[in-house]
Amino acid sequence: DQPRPDTEGEAPEEVLHRVFGHPAFRGRQEEIVRHVMAGGSGLVLMPTGGGKSLCFQVPALCRPGLGVVVSPLIALMEDQVAAMRQQGVAAAALHSDLPDDQAREVKRDLARGAVKLLYVSPERLLLDGTLDFLERRSLALFAIDEAHCVSQWGHHFRPEYRGLGLLATRFPSVPRMALTATADPRTVEDIRAQLGLAESPVFRGGFDRPNIFISSEPRESERGQLRAFIKAAGDGTGAGIVYCGTRAKTEQTAEWLRGDGYDALSFHAGMEPGAKRDAHRRFARGDAVVMAATIAFGMGIDRPDVRWVAHLDLPKSPESWYQEIGRAGRDGLPARALLLYGAGDIALARHRILESPAGEEQKRIERARLEAMVSIAEAATCRRRILLRCFGEDGPENCGACDVCRNPPKLFDGTVPAQKLLSAVLRTGRRFGVAHLVDVLRGKVTDKVAQFSHDQLPTFGVGKDLSDQAWRGVARQLVAIGALDVAIENHGELVPTDAARPILKGEQKVMLRAEAVTAGAPRERNGR
């Protein structure tokens, strides 16, 4: 007879309290645990620190049998095993770096059922001996941690992970959970296909960082806006990061900030390795130090008390912005993020994508990400909600911790322009991007308009009252409120959602941000 580990059959909430010492599940943990307890498989998508481990640890302990956790990193495995043992859980690790005598001991413990949670490297798991052994055992679940290693799209591809696909066929009745922090849609689909999870649900959550107050402003006087922001962000303690679009700008920015009396440094990829190390060291240690940097500054910032992050230029995607502002407030205390943008940088970013040597497919994806970023910058509704939607997570209606929620912008009734645009989308067959739709609305006979006879449509030329720029603003805001989707995976065409119907039927008014639409060309005074 095998000894019964004492957590089997216990309720998940009890194990959460008793073993892990947490008062409650967080975010989607409860839903995920319930799904796996009932025997379901699925993919869990949460950022680092989002609380993925509990999602498999709790059901592994509560369900009968051995829980098997596949992990690519020996150090990570050893950490988790040590932590679990400290909490009184019979955990063990099996990997190629284990000395023979210890491996023998683990196998002996496994054989007599004295292990509840086994951490194992993929190559070790896939040995015939291991699989045969597991086939004869009762198994609580398989958890595949760092599941993005199965995908060749990312930079973390591990050939051994490919073999894990056989778990689906060899252990059809054992729940399989894949876990990753990578939210990139292509990688996500690849993981699901490779691991036989295409029919299983994807759980996304935990992306919110509620202690970071986020705000965005059109660039008017860059220095004045940054000065005011730094003051509001609690001048004097912790550190701050100013992200700049170019290397030269990091140096200029650090210089004027020093002129203002800040301990400001600059950082970019073109610096000597020694200078980079020095900048990193000074940033890590200095109080109230400000780093003016390009996005090259990021890896290895583990300072918990970064109080603010400002972007003087528009980031290339919501994913990069999220990652960059996420460097603030890791200590959980209030932090702030400011995003400045101008029509100039939006146009420049679009142009850069157009001119880049990337393939058409890649360009479309980059373009769609950029447009999503623009719609966050121009949002008339909660910015956090729009940002979270980019990760497939539903945020609250009003987060209360962004500038839009705190101080709603001036709006006007934009129902008529919204209807005109939506109807142009429908009449052209939902197959076109914003540029062509604007041409149709403004009544321009371009080659493409002629080719598709779009000058024959009733919507042709009905939008002459607004400028090209204003129409793009309407489009972005319709994307922002979710009435239109940008087909990221496709050609970047605008596609109406269910939310478009009541607008078209006149059942729902659309409030648009006055400033983004009525100003023909947004004013912009760059720099000083």
- The count of other CB atoms within 10 Å of the CB of residue 305 is 14
Picked from ligand ADP, Zn ion, none, the partner binding residue 484 (CB below 5 to 8 A depending on kind) is none
- The count of other CB atoms within 10 Å of the CB of residue 49 is 11
CB of 54 to ligand ADP, least distance (A): 5
Candidate ranges 91-99, 157-165, 377-385, 467-475; the one touching Zn ion (CB under 5 A) = 377-385
Contact yes or no for 385/364 (Cβ under 8 A): no
Three-state SS for 381-392 is: CCHHHHHHHHCC
Picked from ligand ADP, Zn ion, none, the partner binding residue 399 (CB below 5 to 8 A depending on kind) is Zn ion
Picked from ligand ADP, Zn ion, none, the partner binding residue 48 (CB below 5 to 8 A depending on kind) is ligand ADP
Q: Which residue, 244 or 402, is less far from Zn ion as judged by CB?
A: 402
CB of 456 to ligand ADP, least distance (A): 55
The H or E element spanning position 218 is: strand 212-218
Q: Which residue, 27 or 522, is less far from ligand ADP as judged by CB?
A: 27
CB of 183 to Zn ion, least distance (A): 20
The H or E element spanning position 16 is: helix 12-18
CB of 522 to Zn ion, least distance (A): 22
CB of 318 to ligand ADP, least distance (A): 20
Crossing angle for the helix pair 360-377 and 383-390, nearest 10 degrees?
Answer: 160
Picked from ligand ADP, Zn ion, none, the partner binding residue 46 (CB below 5 to 8 A depending on kind) is ligand ADP
Q: Which residues bind ligand ADP (CB under 6 A)?
A: 22, 25-26, 29, 46, 48-54
Crossing angle for the helix pair 360-377 and 468-480, nearest 10 degrees?
Answer: 80
CB of 280 to Zn ion, least distance (A): 33
- Tell me the backbone φ, ψ of residue 123, rounded to 5 degrees: -65, -35
Give the CA distances from residue 195 to residues 29, 164, 179, 205, in Å, rounded to whole numbers and listed in that order: 21, 7, 11, 21
Candidate ranges 50-58, 60-68, 268-276, 392-400; the one touching Zn ion (CB under 5 A) = 392-400
Tokens of 413: 């009734």
Tokens of 400: 């209360």
Residues 395-454 touching Zn ion, rule: CB under 5 A, are 399, 402, 405
CB of 12 to ligand ADP, least distance (A): 11
Q: Which residue, 51 or 196, is less far from ligand ADP as judged by CB?
A: 51
Q: Which residue, 205 or 414, is less far from ligand ADP as judged by CB?
A: 205
Q: Which residue, 53 or 130, is less far from ligand ADP as judged by CB?
A: 53
The end-to-end CA distance of the chain, in Å, is: 78
Q: Which residue, 81 or 405, is less far from ligand ADP as judged by CB?
A: 81
Residue 363 burial (10 A CB sphere; 0-12, 13-18, 19+): middle
Picked from Zn ion, ligand ADP, none, the partner binding residue 405 (CB below 5 to 8 A depending on kind) is Zn ion
Contact yes or no for 288/262 (Cβ under 8 A): yes
Contact yes or no for 194/56 (Cβ under 8 A): no
Our finding on whether 384 is near Zn ion (CB under 5 A) is yes
For Zn ion (CB under 5 A), the number of binding residues is 5
CB of 341 to Zn ion, least distance (A): 18
Residue 172 burial (10 A CB sphere; 0-12, 13-18, 19+): exposed
Our finding on whether 382 is near Zn ion (CB under 5 A) is yes
The residue ranges that bind Zn ion (CB under 5 A) are 382, 384, 399, 402, 405
